[in-house]
Structures are given as C-alpha cells and as structure tokens.
C-alpha cells in the first residue's frame, strides 16, 4: 500500500514537471550574433511584401540581426559529390562567405543536393529536402539530369520547376534559381539538349521575377573570351561536373547576383595570408 502511494505521488510530481515544459520553451528567446536577445519567436519567417523584389528582400534580411536558414538543393553539382577534388562545393563556399566573412555566425546553411536527382525527385522528396527546415531562402540548381530523361520533356520540366517554385513560395521562402554550368556535349550526347532546359529555367525565372544565377550564360561568355579548352580544363573535372575552381566560379557569381561580392574577401578571390611566410 505504501509503495502505491509513493508511486502515485511520483507520478503527480512528474506530471507537474512535464506540464511546465511548454511554458519554459515559450519563454526562450533567440539571440543575435552578438548575443543580444531577439524578441518573439525563436523562428524567423520572411515577410512577403507585394511589389518588393526578392533581391531587395534578401538585402533587407541581411541587414537584420535575425539568423537565417538557407537551403541549397539540386543534383550532384550542388551535392558537391566526388568532383570537387577535395575543395569546397559552392554551398560550402557560400557558407564561409555568409557565416564567417559577413559575420552571420548563427545563420544555418543546409545542403540537400543529391547526385542523380531531377526536378521530379526533388518534388517527390520536398518535405524532407526543404519543408522541414522552414527555410528563409531556397537555392535550386537543376536540369543536368532532367535533360537526359525521356520522361522529363521540356513541358514536364517547366511544370516541375513551376510546382517547386509554388511550393517554395508557399513556405514564405525566397527562391533562387541557378542554371547549370556548361557541359562537354560531345562526351555527354545524352545531355545534348541541356541548353533547351536552361532556356526554360531562364524564361520561367523572368516571368515569375525569380532571382536567377545564370551560370550557363556566364560560362558561355567565359568560353567566348578564353576558349573551350581553357575553360573546360580549368573549371571541369569531367564532362559534366565542376572541379574546385568551377565551384568557386559558381559561388562568386551567386555573390554578385546577391550583391554580397567583395573582391578583397578570400571566398571572392581576394588574397589572404596570416602569419609569416
């Protein structure tokens, strides 16, 4: 009988403790990079103001102390699988720029790119890859695999891109589109129509006023000025995938599009040396 009374008493005490947990969490404040408390919810959402361009919204967010969540997704290029030669992929370079050089140490940069993926696989896996993180900004580079799939025509690709865009915006997140880099078509004939898929992304981004990091056009211009052989040797590791230098070019173009490029910063190509040499 005594043991039963003790058990009931312990149960009552535990119930009181558990009931207090939501109150405790509701009183927790988030903190800025300098340790200053931020009032309100510990999650910070992006407010969508009609008529305000997405670039201006990102610029405004970067001026505030609230930490941001950036999600990068795509295929093997975003994944940074294998071909970076041990160097950082462009999402990792972005993280260094934002979290260290720009001092936003509490920002979170998440990479959910997966080798071999298409717009369809990302749509099918949207909850896991994007939604669960409640991102402020979602960066998408895709198309290099889509163009090789018989079941992903140009119309299907456009529909998938538009669906992804709608789903991202429904999260109150700011979308960023990246066109893929140029490939060596002669060594990847199954992807010979990549430029047509790039055109679909460019056109959709223009119509929907989405921030576009146009790597394809940037690489085209570089080839015109430096030649195919030089660019392919410097920026590609095989017929499709950028090497470490290629990823740096992708990251720097993104910095320029977001107006956060600084030629003196190491991630932007500036020299950095510490100590004696």
Query: Would you place residue 17 in the very low, low, confident or very high pLDDT band (cuts 50, 70, 90)?
Result: very low
Range of 162's domain? 42-268
Asked if 119 and 141 count as a contact pair (C-beta separation under 8 A), the reply is no
SS3 letters across the chain: CHHHHHHHHHHHHHHHHHHHHHHHHHCCCEECCCCCEECCCCCCCCCCCCCCCHHHHHHHHHHCCCCCEEEEEECHHHHCCCCCCCCCCHHHHHHHHHHHHCCCCCCEEEECCCCCCCHHHHHHCHHHHCHHHCCCEEEEECCCCHHHCCCCCHHHHHHHHHHHHHHHHHCCCEEEEEECCCCCHHHCHHHCCHHHHHHHHHHHHHHHCCEEEEHHHHHHHHHHHHCHHHHHHHHECCCCCECHHHHHHHHHHHHHHCCCCCCCCHHHCCCCCCCCC
Asked if 68 and 60 count as a contact pair (C-beta separation under 8 A), the reply is no
Does some domain include residue 27?
no
**CATH classification at residue 252:** 3.40.50.1110
Structure tokens at 108: 């979170």
Q: What is the mean pLDDT of the chain?
A: 86
Does some domain include residue 18?
no
Does some domain include residue 153?
yes
Which tens digit of pLDDT belongs to each residue from 89-146?
999 999 999 999 999 999 999 999 999 999 999 999 999 999 999 999 999 999 999 9
Q: Residue 52's pLDDT is what?
A: 79
pLDDT at 176 over 60: yes
Does some domain include residue 213?
yes
Number of domains in the chain: 1
Does some domain include residue 86?
yes
Q: Residue 4's pLDDT is what?
A: 45
Q: Residue 116's pLDDT is what?
A: 96
Total residue count of the chain as it appears in this document: 277
CA gap 241, 76 in Å, rounded: 8
φ and ψ at residue 110, rounded to 5 degrees: -115, 135
Q: Residue 272's pLDDT is what?
A: 72
Does some domain include residue 75?
yes
Q: Residue 26's pLDDT is what?
A: 34
Does some domain include residue 92?
yes
φ and ψ at residue 189, rounded to 5 degrees: -60, -25
Does some domain include residue 5?
no
């Amino acid at each position: 009988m005594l043991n039963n009374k003790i058990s009931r008493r312990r149960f009552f005490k535990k119930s009181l403790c558990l009931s207090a947990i939501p109150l405790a969490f509701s009183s927790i404040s988030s903190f800025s990079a300098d340790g200053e408390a931020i009032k309100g919810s510990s999650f910070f959402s992006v407010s969508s103001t009609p008529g305000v361009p997405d670039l201006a919204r990102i610029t405004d967010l970067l001026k505030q102390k609230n930490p941001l969540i950036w999600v990068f997704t795509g295929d093997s290029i975003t994944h940074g699988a294998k071909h970076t030669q041990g160097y950082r992929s462009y999402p990792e370079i972005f993280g260094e720029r934002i979290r260290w050089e720009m001092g936003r140490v509490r920002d979170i940069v998440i990479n959910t790119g997966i080798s071999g993926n298409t717009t369809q696989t990302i749509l099918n896996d949207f909850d896991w890859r994007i939604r669960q993180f409640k991102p402020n900004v979602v960066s998408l580079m895709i198309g290099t695999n889509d163009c090789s799939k018989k079941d992903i025509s140009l119309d299907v690709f456009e529909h998938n891109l538009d669906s992804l865009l709608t789903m991202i915006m429904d999260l109150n997140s700011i979308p960023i589109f990246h066109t893929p880099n140029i490939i060596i078509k002669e060594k990847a004939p199954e992807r010979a129509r990549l430029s047509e898929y790039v055109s679909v992304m460019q056109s959709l981004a223009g119509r929907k006023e989405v921030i576009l990091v146009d790597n394809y056009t940037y690489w085209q211009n570089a080839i015109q000025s430096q030649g195919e052989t030089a660019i392919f040797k410097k920026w590609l590791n095989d017929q499709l995938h950028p090497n470490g230098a290629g990823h740096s070019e992708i990251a720097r173009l993104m910095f320029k599009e977001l107006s956060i490029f600084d030629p003196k910063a190491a991630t932007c190509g500036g020299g950095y040396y510490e100590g004696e040499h």
